[in-house]
A = this chain, B = another copy of it.
Amino acid sequence: MTTSDERPPSAEKSRKAAGEVNPLDRIVGFQLRRAQLKTFNELIRLFDKLDLKPPQFAVLKVLETHPGINQTRAAKMLAIKRTNFVTLVDGLEQRGLAERRVSAKDRRGRPLFLTEAGTKLMAKAGSIQAKHERDLMHRLGGAEELETFLRLLHRLIAGTNADE
Binding site for B on A (CB under 8 A): 1, 3-4, 17, 19-40, 43, 54, 58, 61-62, 64-66, 73, 76-79, 105-106, 129, 133, 136, 139-141, 145-146, 148-150, 152-158, 160-162
- CB of B38 within 8 A of CB of A136, answer no
* Complex CA–CA separation, A29 to B146 (angstroms): 12
- CB of B129 within 8 A of CB of A19, answer no
* Complex CA–CA separation, A161 to B24 (angstroms): 15
Residues of B within 8 A of A158 (CB): 139
Residues of B within 8 A of A25 (CB): 154
Can you give 9 A-B contacts (C-beta < 8 A)? A17-B161, A22-B62, A23-B61, A24-B77, A27-B61, A28-B39, A28-B149, A30-B58, A148-B152
CB contact under 8 A between A23 and B62, given known A32-B36, A36-B32, A160-B38: yes
Residues of B within 8 A of A154 (CB): 25, 31
* Complex CA–CA separation, A156 to B40 (angstroms): 12
- CB of B37 within 8 A of CB of A129, answer no
